[in-house]
Every structure is written in structure tokens, then in C-alpha cells.
Amino acid sequence: MQESTDPVATRTYWYPERDDITIYGILAALSDPTRLEIVRSIAERDECCPFDFLAVASKQNLTHHFKVLREAGLITARYEGRQKFVSLRRDLIDDMFPGLLDGLLRAVAASEKH
């Protein structure tokens, strides 16, 4: 189990190890349209602030969505002072499931054109 400690609030976040990440957990996490949109936005920008998504969902709902994505192994966070930034664990996911994220994001983009 990997843990990351928030230097500001002394919170500890659990991140799954490679062996704990499954295709089923990833697909379950991405089955929600809000989480899929969050992942798509992060993929386009490499890194985002969770507050960038307040137009998509309330702060409480966003907290839940980011927790699901983190526990599925899809995202990680880093802090600069009080500012939190989230990014995809793309290298790990691409290594474990080659083409999954790119293929899924392309499929979503194609379905929106129709």
C-alpha cells in the first residue's frame, strides 16, 4: 500500500499498489459519466486542480468521485502549499493495460460526435 501525506492537513491517502489494481476496478470507476469526464479532462491537461470541476458536481460529490478514481488506481495527487493537483497514473495504467485509456477516451469522443 502506498500512502501520500498532505503536508498541510496531515491527511493520509491510500493509493493501491500495482497488484491491487484490476481492469474490473478501473472499468467500474469509469462507468460513471462524471468520473469519465474527470479522467478525460485530466488526460487533456496532464494535471488538474479538483476545484476545476465544481461546474460538473458539488464539492461533496467531487470528493466521492476523486476517491473512487484514486482507489481504482487511476489518479494520484500532489500538493503545492495548500493547492492540490491530481494527475492520471498513466504510465502505470498504460503498462498494465496497454491502450485502455487512449482507446476508451477515443471511443467516448467518437460517441459524442454521433
- 86 and 46 Cβ atoms separated by less than 8 Å: no
Q: Which three cell numbers stand for residue 34?
A: 462524471
User: Which of the pair, 111 or 9, is modelled with greater confidence?
Assistant: 111
Q: Assign residue 68 the CATH number of its domain.
A: 1.10.10.10
Please determine, for residue 6, whether its predicted confidence score (pLDDT) is greater than 60.
no
Please determine, for residue 113, whether its predicted confidence score (pLDDT) is greater than 70.
yes
Mean pLDDT to the nearest integer, 70-99: 93
Please determine, for residue 19, whether its predicted confidence score (pLDDT) is greater than 80.
yes
- 12 and 4 Cβ atoms separated by less than 8 Å: yes
- 16 and 61 Cβ atoms separated by less than 8 Å: no
Please determine, for residue 99, whether its predicted confidence score (pLDDT) is greater than 80.
yes
- 87 and 41 Cβ atoms separated by less than 8 Å: no
Q: Would residue 14 count as lying in a domain?
A: yes
* Number of domains the chain contains: 1
Q: Would residue 67 count as lying in a domain?
A: yes
Q: Give per-residue pLDDT as tens, 29-49.
A: 999 999 999 999 999 998 988
Domain hosting residue 14, numbered range: 2-93
Model confidence at 53, in pLDDT bands (50, 70, 90)? confident
* Residue 27 one-letter amino acid: L
Q: Would residue 64 count as lying in a domain?
A: yes
Q: Would residue 89 count as lying in a domain?
A: yes
Indicate the angle between helix axes 33-45 and 59-72, nearest 10 degrees. Answer: 70
What is the rounded CA–CA span in Å between residue 62 and residue 80? 20
Q: Would residue 29 count as lying in a domain?
A: yes
